[in-house]
Amino acid sequence: MSDRITQCQKRYTDLGGKLARRIELETHAMMKETHVTVKETNVAVKETHVTVKDTEATVKETHTMVKEADGTAKETNTRVKLLEDIEMGSP
């Protein structure tokens, strides 16, 4: 009976060791996957930052163009008013 108990204890210990090793290997694999995912995410974040900077530059250019167009529109309105005044005979 003592041999049987010893065998069971050894088997239990062996199974525990195998389980611990399996958990260790699975954890290591998950850590590698997580590391790859983090690297991919970092690349995506950098690409997003570049896109944001490009978009900000485009917005600034657009604002400049709008200001210029607004100035041109004001000048055109002034000229139209002047022409209307001339046509109406008002100095």
Query: C-alpha 46: how far from its chain's center?
Result: 7
Report how far apart, in Å, the C-alpha atoms of 19 and of each of 14, 25, 67 are: 9, 10, 70
User: What is the value of pTM for the model shown?
Assistant: 0.59
56-78 pLDDT per residue, tens: 999 999 999 999 999 999 999 99
pLDDT value for 91? 56
In the chain, the percentage of residues whose pLDDT exceeds 70 is 98
pLDDT value for 90? 59
* Mean pLDDT for all residues in the chain: 94
